[in-house]
Amino acid sequence: MARDRNTGASHYPDGMTGYVMDPHGGPENGSVRAYLLHRAKPHIPPWLGWAATGLVGALGHWRWPDSAAAGVGLTLASVALTGVTWAAGKSTTKQRRLHSAVTVACGSAWVTAACLAGPTAGPVDDLYLMGGPAVALSWNVRVVLRNNIEGTAGGSSDGGLLEKVGLARAQIGAAKVEPNRVTAPLALEPGEQTNDDVAKALARIASALDLPKSAVRYSPDPDSERRGDLVIVPEDMLSEVVEWEGPSNLGGSIADPLNLGRYDDGADLLIWLPGDPDAGRNSTHLLIAGGTGSGKGDTALNVLTEILSRTDVVVWFSDPKAFQDFAPLRAGLDWGVEGGTPTEVMVAGVEAAIPARTRWLGAHGYRQWVPEAAQTQNDPAHSCRGDGRACGCEGMPFLVAWFEEAANTLRALGDDAFTGIAQEARSAGISLVVSLQRPSYDQMSTSTRASLPSVIALGCDPRDEGFSLPETVIDAGAHPGAWGNRRPGYCYVVSPGIDESRYPSPGRTRRFTIRAVPVMERLAAWAQANGAHADPVTAGAVSGVAGRAYTGRTTTDDNDEAQPAVALRAVREEDDEMEHGGLLVDPEDAYIDPEQELPGSEEGDDAPIFGQDTGRKPTPEEARRLFADALAEFEAEGRMVVGPRDFKDWCERHNLSRPWVSGQLKEAYLEGRLEPTNATGRWRIVPALTAA
Ligand SMILES: Nc1ncnc2c1ncn2[C@@H]1O[C@H](COP(=O)(O)OP(=O)(O)OP(=O)(O)O)[C@@H](O)[C@H]1O
């Protein structure tokens, strides 16, 4: 069929008749009578049925007036016919099945009465005149509604939408129509079509409706392979930008939902990090994945501001981008580092905190972290004492360990290590938050990806969709690849606690502008004064591996236990006054093996060594002292993870070789001064000051 661009008229091949609707519903060719006839056609059969019923009733009475045998036969036939109708309607929708059975029952009962008593006797004719049209009209209404739903979905009178998209014979049930959202139950052809077929047809449905792909979604019924809900959201209500004005629940608990923005139907976009034993939900780790310009930075700010506004959580935060986006919030963090070695130390800190926290939670009768765990333990049911009395231990806040642009860190850590940490952290009241520069498998391996159950998937390259979102959610119509960086802040969120039918619905986070900076600074100051401090157990565990690198949040509060840095400084000053060999052994002397030979060293060279480039090799003893000094210096700077490369300049200065340093590092490990890390050739300094 061709269409004249100027007149809008359609030209059919010779001999064909037909019409095409213009967008306003008027006939474009053919007569008005033909159009009306065509429109009326689907509504005529019920009325023909009504007329036929009347005719059968009249003929039956003429044949069997007042016959008792005919009465029995007709009644049985009527019941049988109704039963057959009910049975035959098994494969259709419940509503249609009932409607058909009731229609047949009414019709056959009237025929029986008309045959026996006569079509005009008593109320029989009135029943015919009133009941018949009512039943016929009910079928007309049904057809109209069905057409309307298909019409809403873009179907036109020359073929239903479903037929157009290859789902002929699928049935659409009564649609729920809300402002800007139509939800229509779909029942597919039994044995012929599956929910996968609908998923594959979504793009064609969007095309038929002239809508973007993300406007059409499908939520399969988990209990049926041929049923589900087709959801159409015609207008993009997210196009309006909403600016962040402040946290949603200042002073609340981290167990309360974090409000990150809104869904396309206006509902709040919420996530939960800690688990909820009542809901059978464990705590979760979160991946924030999006391409450049997708609004990942602002989304992270939405998440972080929400977390910092709660009173029972501490945040450890690593940002290789030197807190470019997060600087206004830094004061509210319990521990903030800028990537590289400090991040390695932070990872070691998380690793150390996990068993300590899990033990504490277990000892206090918590199977997972709940808000009560963050309070002072005054409940005998959560006591670590054997005598059943309340223990009064300080509470343990939830811990969020956040790794911005984490690809390098994760690669250095290795898959097994990360998977292990992720698994164990969940029962230790720790959530990991990880953001990636590019959401793809070359940034993060499959198994590491699998250990992050929650994701905020922002716009990305279409090829990376499968990385960001589970296949089922993509099949249901989620397509972050369609946004790229053109829709900043648009996201799909998959996370425990959210109704799964929401997963394919897009949401949008709030935008942060320059106006948000003072509000964020106020929030950080608020968090500094009112937020939680790391509990002694967590702080102790992390200080044990990170030493001075872990400072704890600085406040005006004088709680030394919650501020390991203050405690450490006090210990160090005390140590300086002690003679070597006291309780806290001077690291310079503690690990020297005077018997060990230094490769290539010159015997008997006893020139002074400290602070000078001698241009000669130090004696073995000098070299070991220098090495111990270097470790102490690293520790003092908070560089708690070291490897041969960190000694490059030092080697040059002291005429010592890299292999010698490698050997010395191993030796220091054997002596307990270093611990291996998950990365080959990297060692963690065991803090000398807290080792006691
Ligand atoms: N929810 C939002 N609504 C509207 N605009 C937003 C939203 N989020 C971010 N933007 C805007 O989109 C642009 C890119 O945002 P942002 O810098 O957060 O992206 P990004 O993914 O972090 O990019 P990059 O990785 O390059 O830093 C900014 O101009 C920002 O203001």
C-alpha 625/C-alpha 601 separation (Å) is 14
The mean pLDDT of 8-32, rounded to a whole number, is 39
Q: Residue 469 Cα, ligand 1 centroid: separation in angstroms?
A: 20
Model pLDDT, residue 562: 35
Ligand 1 contact, 509 CB (< 6 A): yes
Q: Does the structure show a pLDDT above 70 at 15?
A: no
Q: Give the pLDDT confidence of 37-61 residue by residue, as tens digits.
A: 777 888 888 899 999 998 988 888 8
Ligand 1 contact, 334 CB (< 6 A): no
Measure Cα distances from 667 to 591, 652, 687, 688 in Å.
Answer: 9, 21, 16, 16
Ligand 1 atom nearest to CA at 290: 21
Amino acid at the residue 613: D
Q: How confident is residue 592, by pLDDT bands cut at 50, 70 and 90?
A: very low
CA 144 to chain centre: 40
Q: Give the pLDDT confidence of 379-432 residue by residue, as tens digits.
A: 999 988 888 888 889 999 999 999 998 888 888 778 788 888 999 998 999 999
Ligand 1 contact, 257 CB (< 6 A): no
C-alpha 42/C-alpha 44 separation (Å) is 6
In whole numbers, what is the pLDDT of the chain averaged over residues? 80
Q: Residue 293 Cα, ligand 1 centroid: separation in angstroms?
A: 5
Model pLDDT, residue 339: 74
Contact 234, 177 (CB under 8 A): no
| Model confidence, pTM | 0.62
Percentage of the residues of the chain whose pLDDT score is greater than 90 = 33
Q: How confident is residue 601, by pLDDT bands cut at 50, 70 and 90?
A: very low
Contact 568, 584 (CB under 8 A): no
The mean pLDDT of 294-298, rounded to a whole number, is 95
Name all domains of the chain by residue range, CATH numbers in brackets: 1-28 (no CATH), 42-145 (no CATH), 159-235 (3.30.1360), 258-358+399-450+471-528 (3.40.50.300), 571-691 (1.10.10)
Pairing of strands 398-403, 430-436: parallel
Enumerate the β-bridge partners of residue 674: 685
ipTM tops 0.85: yes
Model pLDDT, residue 523: 95
Model pLDDT, residue 320: 84
The mean pLDDT of 162-189, rounded to a whole number, is 81
Q: Give the pLDDT confidence of 603-613 residue by residue, as tens digits.
A: 333 333 334 44
70 CB-side CA count, 13 A:
16
Q: Residue 480 Cα, ligand 1 centroid: separation in angstroms?
A: 15
Report which of residues 154 and 485 the model is more confident about.
485
Model pLDDT, residue 32: 66
The region of weakest confidence among 129-138, 265-274, 614-623 is: 614-623
Top-confidence range, 116-120, 166-170, 212-216, 521-525: 521-525
Tell me how far apart the terminal alpha carbons of the chain are, to the nearest angstrom.
89
Pocket test for ligand 1, best of 245, 326, 487, 511 (most atoms within 8 A of CB): 511
Q: Give the pLDDT confidence of 60-101 residue by residue, as tens digits.
A: 888 887 777 887 888 888 888 888 888 888 777 778 888 889
Report which of residues 375 and 68 the model is more confident about.
375
Q: Which residues contribute to the annotated binding site for ATP? A: 290-297
Burial class (CB in 10 A: 0-12, 13-18, 19+), 419: middle
Contact 309, 329 (CB under 8 A): no
Contact 436, 289 (CB under 8 A): yes
380 CB-side CA count, 13 A:
4
CA-based Rg of the chain, rounded to a whole angstrom? 37
C-alpha 7/C-alpha 190 separation (Å) is 44
Q: Residue 241 Cα, ligand 1 centroid: separation in angstroms?
A: 11
